Every structure is written in C-alpha cells, then in structure tokens.
Chain A
C-alpha cells in the first residue's frame, strides 16, 4: 500500500464529514426537505411564521445539481489552470470557482422558491417579509459553498488518486444525491421533528393531528432561519457528517486490501453491512428495554 493512497482515503473521509455537516446546516437554514412540509402547512392552520421556505424539489436532486455544477465547472477550469498552477493547486482553485457558481445558482433557486411559495399562501394571510429572505441568504450561500467545495474535492480525490474510472462530474452527481439523501433522512429529523415541535414531549413523533402545529416563537421574538443552525449544529449536522463520512471512508477503506483479488471490497462491504446491522439491532433492543415500548397518551 502506498502512503499516498492511505492519505487520500483519510482525506476523503474527513472531507465527507465536513460536507455532511455543512449540507445539513445549509438545508436547515432554509427549511428544505423534511421540515419544509411542516413550514408549508403552518400558515394553513393559523401559524404565520418567519421561517425561510426553501422548497427545492427534495434534497437529493437539489444536491445532485449543486455538486454536478460545481464539479463540471471545476473540471473544465482545472484543465486550463493545470499548466500555470500545477496539479494540486489547480484542483483546489478550480473547485473554489465551481463551488461559487453552484452556490450562486442555489441562492437564486432558494429565493424563487421562498417568494413564490409565500405568494401562494395569500389565502392564509402569510406576508412576504424581505428581511426573512435577506438575512439567511449569506448564511446558506456560505454553507452551500462549503458543502459543494467538499463534494467536488472528494470527487477529484476519488477520480485522480483512488483511480475511479468514472469522470469527476458523474462521481459528484452520485455523491451529491447520496449526500442529499443522508441529510434529508438523518440530519433533518433533528430540525423537522424536534426543533419545530419543541413544545411536545421529546421523541414523541409527529402524528397527523400535530402536522403544521410548529413553534413560531423563540426565546425572544420570532423563530427564524438563522437561529436554526445554532440548534442543529449540535446534533443534526454532526450526525449527517458522521453518516456520510463513514460511508465514504468505509467504502474507500475496503478498496485498500487485495487478499481476495477483485472480490475483496465486495467481501469487506458485506462484512461491514452485517456488523452495522448487528450494532443497530442491539442499540434498538437496548433502547426498547431501557425506555419501554411506545405508550398510549
């Protein structure tokens, strides 16, 4: 094993953890995906709110788009920068430009979604307040930029150092869809089912009768989309990062060994899946024993 490849595997894993954290915080800054349904329903049951309603067609396609944009721009620029800056610097510089383009398009889509959805809330008297758009805008631009930058760099590492045969934009598209899926299923629950429903008992879930009955008042003033990452960065973001980081790291790590020829990564992958299944099952059994079955209210 070459030291370069071990370093690349570790770096890809570390960047994936960062990408997961930033992705979850970016989506939470504007109530994308899972919490979006709750924010969307709130005015209909009389809760006028000051959340950013960032409806961009579900996180997986949206992150596929941002990542593919970032990676495509980066690849095209990298071939131009190659002679002037050398291999490593050209990749980093091109990725920064690519992430900037992706984050700009993200911002346009987010603003269009918020104003158009708020206009559709006219029968429920939801006003369009411009500070609700302008104050979270730099925040999710920055988070989106960092998430796309990390995904683009992972895609370059996967293609150039770990010698994945697919082109960088396709790897970025697949990583983006994976990242969006993980952020939507793992991280957003901390915001969508806990932060928005803090008046209800912790972990009680959201029955249909509570849908849209979200907290609109904060410790002082109204809840807004800037305070949300302050809450979700403690658990939701790191858990998303852990999940995506573990996925990228374990997948690359299983390719380092060659004891069973070409079948080694597949064998190791199956072993990892069985181990994870056993760990998850034992955690669930422990939780059920510790906190009992679900009880009636």
Chain B
C-alpha cells in the first residue's frame, strides 16, 4: 500500500449529488425492483441490485439533516425516519387491495413529512427542509422493507416459522444501514461521495444478512441468488470505498509513533 502525499485541507473528490435526485433514482429503481420481483420471482438478483440506491438516498437524507449541527442526534433522527418507514410498510401488508405496497411507501412519505413538520414547527428545531428529508428517509426505509417483506413472504405456504419474527431485524438493520454511513464518516474531512460509497457497501452487507435469513423462508435458488449478488456487491463496493479512503487519508502506515 502506498503512502499518500500529505496535505493541509480535506480532499474533496467527486461532486455533490442532491438528495432529491438520489431519491428520484431510488423511487424509479425500487419500483422496477418490486415489479420485477412480482412478475418473475427468480430474477430476484435484479431486485436486490435495484434496491441499493434506496439505502444511498436515505443515507444522503441523514447527512443533509445532521450537517446542521445535530451531531450525536444522527442516531435519533435516523431511528425516527426508519421507524416511520418500516411501520408504514409493515402496515401495508394488511391492506388487501392491488398495489398496497406502493400505498405503504406513499404513506411513509406523507407521515414522515408530517413528523418533520411537527419537529420544525412545534418543537422548533428550525432545520431547513427537514420535513422533506425525513420524508425521504422514511420512504427509502419503506421501499427496502417492502421488498424484503415481499421476498420473505413469497412462498408463504412452505414456511416452517412465522414470517413476522424477522420484522424487528428488518427494522433495525435498515435503520443502521441508513444512519451509519454518515455517522461513521463524520469529521472535518467528510464528503458526500465517500459517505455514499460507504452507504452502498453497508447496503450490500445488509442485503447479505437478509439473504442469510431468507434461507429459512424462500426456496434455495432465490436465497443463493441474493447471497451471491450481495456478496459480489459487498466486495466491489468495499474495494471502491477503500480506494476512496486510500486517496483521502492523511497517511497510511502499518504502525508508528503519532
């Protein structure tokens, strides 16, 4: 590993992508992902690839809110957004009409917006555009939850264990994958491209975990598809992330005196 040249200022590689444009990408990708999974359950590997942008959009929303000096409140704001999203998505399971999954995502967006409105207007947190960012966070969490609830409950007749026992794990794993990229990168030299690279690496780690869980619920081919594509994605995204680290770190060494 090479030792990088030293520098006084933070290296801002790449350019800033707005959270709204990331969210639009995430909406398009996850709609396609859900449609593909409903039409052809054996093409699940495409759905897994297409759900990763939702993690990035949620992580970017967390970064936008937390940049206004929340700091240690990253976890709280993330749990709030992810909680609204996952609960809306879980509730949509019990609505027995066509396209109920999409209704859950829209409901998550609306409830997230109202929650942000309460935080800004009633608690007076006065964070610019917090309503929209919490709504984006909730909707992203709802997309992820909807896809994995659909995957786990697809072969409902061959289940040995009830599917609802994985709901706590889906909630907390999604929340951590959304809040941790910014929380883990915080500091003076933090920049959005590296945070998003970490978001993709953790997204694929989370889908890898869900793939492991899906061995108990789906048929073996589906699980192996999820595990393979997530494992491959994890290796690729981690490599990209480590390259970014290597380019931005002040000095890389095995050991030494600081």
Contacts and interface: CB of A to CB of B under 8 A. Distances in A.
Given A62-B176, A65-B176, A123-B10, A117 B185 contact: yes
B245 interface: yes
Interface residues of B, number: 59
Interface string B128-169: 000000000000000000000000000000001110111111
Given A56-B180, A61-B75, A129-B255, A116 B168 contact: no
Contacts of A40: 186-187
A119 B205 CA distance: 21
Contacts of A173: 168-169, 172
Contact of B164 (A73, A121, A129, A167): A167
A34 to B, nearest CB: 10
A27 to B, nearest CB: 14
A72 B166 contact: yes
Contacts of A50: 258
A126 B72 contact: no
Given A76-B161, A121-B250, A167-B164, A58 B184 contact: no
Contact of B249 (A58, A80, A128, A170): A128
B175 interface: yes
Interface in A35-87: 37, 40, 44, 48-50, 55-58, 60-62, 64-65, 68-69, 72-73, 75-76, 79-80
Contacts of A69: 169, 173, 209
Contacts of B205: 105, 108
A222 interface: yes
Contact of B253 (A119, A123, A129): A129
Contacts, number: 177
B250 A61 contact: no
Given A61-B175, A76-B216, A108-B205, A120 B252 contact: no
B245 A125 contact: no
A69 to B, nearest CB: 6
Contact of A113 (B7, B78, B184, B189): B184
B9 interface: yes
B60 interface: no
Nearest to A173: B168
A169 B168 contact: yes
A42 B248 CA distance: 20
A37 B122 CA distance: 29
A116 B198 contact: yes
A65 B173 contact: yes
Nearest to B248: A119
A169 B252 CA distance: 41
A61 B79 contact: yes
B39 interface: no
A46 to B, nearest CB: 11
A58 B184 CA distance: 11
Contacts of A37: 72
A122 interface: yes
Contacts of A128: 245, 249-253
12 contacts: A55-B186, A56-B183, A57-B176, A57-B184, A68-B172, A116-B198, A121-B189, A122-B248, A122-B249, A124-B250, A125-B251, A130-B252
Interface of A: 37, 40, 44, 48-50, 55-58, 60-62, 64-65, 68-69, 72-73, 75-76, 79-80, 101, 105, 108-109, 112-113, 115-131, 167-170, 172-173, 216, 222
Given A61-B175, A122-B11, 6 more contacts: A76-B216, A80-B160, A120-B190, A123-B9, A128-B249, A169-B166
Interface of B: 6-11, 72, 74-75, 78-79, 160-162, 164-169, 172-173, 175-176, 179-180, 183-190, 194, 198, 201-202, 205, 209, 212-213, 215-216, 241-242, 244-245, 248-258
